[in-house]
Amino acid sequence: MRKYDYIFAGTGLATLMTVHQMILSKKFSDKKILLLDSDIKKTNDRTWCFWEKPDGGYENLVTKKWNTAVFSNEKYLRDLDLNPYQYKMIQGLDFYNYIFGIISTAKNIEFLNQKVVSIKEENNQVLVKTEAEDFTCNKLFNSIFNPNEVLSQDNYPLLQQHFIGWKIKISEPVFTPEKATFMDFSVAQKGNTRFMYVLPFLENEALIEYTLFSKDLLLEKEYEDEIKNYIEKLGIKNYEILEKERGNIPMTSYPFWNKNSKNIINIGSAGGWTKASTGYTFKNATKKSKALVSFLLQENDFRKFQKRNKFWFYDLLLLDILYKKNYAGSSIFSAMFKKGNPTLIFKFLDEETSFSEDIQVILKCPTGLFLKALFSRIRRL
């Protein structure tokens, strides 16, 4: 049975960022590290979008950036000046190739294409079983999300951010490449929170995505019919579908970190690293991976790593509202963006605002909904 200092179960975004930070720190070159995953990460299975200031940590991987975002609903449209931020996109395959390229030069790190089937902690060691063999390690990082853990309780609601997107090419110039449509709530809500998301690459090429925040997924045809309707509404008659993507991101404030043990930590979506109120992951994973590596250099007990903060509670209130009144998403986000300061809103969503700045953003939202959710949640904490 092979022994390692650190084993990573799953090689998604959180794992690759954390391992990358370990390499950059130059403090772990004497540690044996193993990465396990049944997926060899050789396909462009996703894209990540996020807002940040120019010259971020993965700037070399950015395939497209926008300085303006558009927010709209059935009544109005607003161009959001993102300065000092930019909205950026990174292709999954570009990220995988870059990080695995760096990992391949590290003699102390090994990747095995094996599926993890069980993890068990005993005698201050962690036993990891795959379909092929067994391993032991001192510390294990688990990024394999188990939805049953959240579904088996009812104190913290779980919504899905689910979507299908088409990257299309047309003959006539229709899109404005400098503007990304962040949220377009002009589509029928049908009792849910539903919007279109458009990332234009050229005047005749864009990704058009139909997105929902709701409990249940749709049939594939329902997503694609809405995309077809939206394309027609844009005045586009003939188009070529270049690529399709589909995703489902858990949105919950469930405290995954309570399941951490001294030697096992949950990371990524499995550890609550996804921003619960928006489903955005890349920026949060960047911050968490850096914090985790700094933690490893000072602490030995994973139970001390992550704690609740005020932003966790804000997200929880929003999810409480949308879980009970799923149709309310359009009115909440519309109220926030109609007259709110875009820079302050994005700073708030990045969890970097002071309490006084928090209040400025929160007061733009429907006060009654949040006060009712607050009183209900206080009784349950």
DSSP secondary structure, 368-379, as one string: HHHHHHHHHHHH
pLDDT value of position 378: 84
Helix (H, G, I), strand (E, B) or coil at 252: strand
Q: Give 64-77 pLDDT, tens digit per residue.
A: 999 999 999 999 99
CB 317 within 8 A of CB 59: no
Say if strands 2-9 and 134-142 run parallel, antiparallel, or are unpaired: parallel
Is there a contact between 269 and 285 (Cβ–Cβ < 8 Å)? no
Q: Does residue 296 form part of some domain? A: yes
| Residues 292 and 320 placed together within one structural domain of the fold | no
330 pLDDT exceeds 90? yes
Q: What is the DSSP string of 204-243?
A: TEEEEEEEEEESS---HHHHHHHHHHHHHHTT---EEEEE
Query: Which residues form the domain of 171?
Result: 158-251
Distance of CA 136 to the CA centre of its chain: 30
In this prediction, residue 308 has a pLDDT band, given cuts at 50, 70 and 90, of: confident
Percent of the chain predicted with pLDDT > 90: 92
Q: Is the pLDDT of residue 380 over 80?
A: no
Q: Note whether 137 and 166 are same-domain residues.
A: no
Same domain, 8 and 121: yes
- The reply to whether 184 and 143 lie within a common domain is no
Q: φ, ψ for residue 98 (rounded to 5)?
A: -65, -50
Confidence class for position 44, pLDDT limits 50, 70, 90: confident
Both 130 and 105 in one domain: the answer is yes
Any domain includes 81: no
Number of H helices, E strands in the chain: 10, 17
The contacts of residue 127 (CB under 8 Å, 6+ apart) are: 118, 119, 120, 121, 134, 135, 136
> Of 304, 321, 337, which closes a domain?
304
pLDDT tens for 224-241 read: 999 999 999 999 999 999
Token pair belonging to 141:
């990082």
Within-domain flag for 60: no
Distance CA 306, CA 271 (A): 9
Looking up residue 130, the CATH number of its domain turns out to be 3.50.50.60
Summarised one tens digit per residue, pLDDT across range 232-277 is 999 999 999 999 999 999 999 999 999 999 999 999 999 999 999 9
Together in a domain, 35 and 165: no
Which pLDDT score is estimated for 9?
A: 98
Do the domain assignments include residue 50? no
Whose tokens are 């844009």? That residue is 234
Same domain, 247 and 175: yes
The mean pLDDT of 165-192, rounded to a whole number, is 96
Q: If residue 158 lies in a helix (H) or strand (E), which one and from where to where?
A: strand 158-170
Domain final residue pick, 210, 229, 251? 251
Residue 35 lies in a domain: yes
Q: What is the pLDDT of residue 55?
A: 85
Indicate whether 77 belongs to any domain. no
How many residues does this entry show for the chain? 381
In this structure, the answer to whether residues 123 and 196 fall within a common structural domain is no
CATH number at residue 194: 3.30.9.10
Q: Looking at the structure, do residues 205 and 269 belong to the same domain, yes or no?
A: no
pTM attached to this predicted model:
0.93
Residue pair 90/282 in contact by the 8 Å Cβ criterion: yes
Residues 97 and 25 in one domain: yes
CA distance 223 to 163: 7
Domain end: 304, 320, 335, which one?
A: 304
List pLDDT tens digits, range 201-216. Answer: 999 999 999 999 999 9
Same-domain check for residues 278 and 327: no
Shared domain for 187 and 293, answered yes or no, is no
The count of structural domains within the chain is: 3
Domain contains 370: yes
194 belongs to a structural domain: yes
